[in-house]
Amino acid sequence: MLRIQLQRMPELPEVEVTRRILESEIREKQVAEVSVNHPRVVRRQKHPTDFSDRLQERTVQSLRRHGKFLIIELDAGLNWVTHLGMSGRIQMVDNDQPEETHTRTVVRFVGGRELRFVDPRTFGFMTVWTEAELASSTLNRLGPDALTDLPSVREFVGYLRGRTALIKPLLLNQSVVAGVGNIYADESLHLCRVSPLRPGGSLAADEVNRLRIAIRTTLIAAIQQGGTSLEDLAYLLPDGKTGDFLDRLRVYGREGQGCCHCGFAIRRTVIRSRSSFWCPGCQA
C-alpha cells in the first residue's frame, strides 16, 4: 500500500465522478428539507438564510461542472454551486443513516434520500445563486475546462508565450485551464516529461502538445478509476466507495521511490509553497 501523508484535494476527476453519480440520483428530484450545520460553509451567500430559503421545494434539472465547481441547475433560475475545497465530499444516503462528524449541510429530497456535504476543514462551500449572481461570480473568471474544453496547442502556446512564471503554478492557475490541481498537475507533467520548474514561456510547441495530451490522458484515466482516494479516505464517492487511481499515481507522494519510466529517485520540491513531485531523470 502506497504511503501518502499528504492530504488529497478534490480536483476535476473527483468532482466529475461525484457529478455523474449525483446525476443518476437527484435529477428531477424535489428538495424537501434543508439544514445548515456550519454557517461558514454558506459564507458566499449574500444573506446566510438564502441557502435554505432558496433550496426549499426546488427541483433539480441538470448537473454540470466547470473545473472543480459543481453546478446543480434548479428550476426558478437558481444554481446550486458546490466547491469541495481541500477536504470536502458529497454523500448520498438514506435519511435514517447516522450523520458523520463534519457534516456541514444536509439536503433531503422528497422520498427520503439525503445529499450531505462533509467537509472537515470547511475550505469548501455551497451556495445557491441566481443567474445574475452566478454570472458575476468568480466562476466566470475560470479558464476553459480541462476535460471538455482543453485549449488547442496553438491557444496554449499563445497563452504561455513570454510567461516567466513556472509551468507548475501556471497549471494550478484556474484562469488558465480550470480543474487541474496539485496531484494531476504533477502527474501530467511527469507523463509528458516536462519539469515543473520550467518557465511557462520556455516550453516548445512540441512540449505543449505533449502536455495537453498528458493532461487529458491523466484526467480521463483518473475518472475511469473513480478519482483518487488517499489513505486518509477524505475523498470517497457519494456512494461511499473509494476512488482507485492511487495505485496509478506515477510521482505524487512517491518521494525517494524509483521513477516508473527511468528509475531515478523521485524528488519533492516546494514550488510556491506547494509540494511538487517530479523525476529529475526524465523531466529534464
Partner DNA sequence: ACCTCCCTGGCC
Partner DNA sequence: GGCCAGGGAGGT
Least distance CB 57 / DNA (angstroms):
28
Strand partners, 63: 72
> Closer to DNA at the Cβ: 9 or 31?
9
Residue 256, burial from CB neighbour count under 10 angstroms (0-12, 13-18, 19+): exposed
Q: Which of 93, 100, 83, 101 is nearest to 41 (CA)?
A: 83
> Closer to DNA at the Cβ: 124 or 238?
124
Query: How far is C-alpha 106 from the chain's CA centre?
Result: 21
The verdict on 31 binding DNA (CB under 7 A) reads no
Contact criterion met (CB below 8 Å) for 34 and 51 = yes
Q: Give the x-and-dash track for 59-98 against DNA (CB under 7 A).
A: --------xx--------------x-xxx-----------
Q: Number of residues in contact with DNA, rule: CB under 7 A?
A: 32
3-state SS, one letter per residue, for 236-263: CCCCCCCCECHHHCCCCCCCCCECCCCC
Question: Which residues are the active-site residues?
Answer: 10-11, 68, 274
What residues from 238 to 257 belong to the interface with DNA (CB under 7 A)?
none
Least distance CB 231 / DNA (angstroms):
7
What residues from 189 to 218 belong to the interface with DNA (CB under 7 A)?
none
The verdict on 121 binding DNA (CB under 7 A) reads yes
The verdict on 157 binding DNA (CB under 7 A) reads no
> Closer to DNA at the Cβ: 31 or 68?
68
> Closer to DNA at the Cβ: 8 or 58?
8
Cα gap 168→197, rounded to integer Å: 7
What residues from 220 to 239 belong to the interface with DNA (CB under 7 A)?
232
Q: How many CB atoms lie within 10 A of CB 226?
A: 22
The verdict on 37 binding DNA (CB under 7 A) reads no
> Closer to DNA at the Cβ: 123 or 264?
123
Q: Which of 94, 82, 220, 87 is nearest to 150 (CA)?
A: 220
C-alpha cell, 112? 427520503
Least distance CB 243 / DNA (angstroms):
16
Q: How many CB atoms lie within 10 A of CB 80?
A: 22
Least distance CB 78 / DNA (angstroms):
19
3-state class of 161 per DSSP? coil
Residues that bind DNA (CB under 7 A): 5-7, 9, 40, 67-68, 83, 85-87, 101-102, 120-123, 138, 163-165, 169, 172, 174, 181-182, 232, 270, 272-275
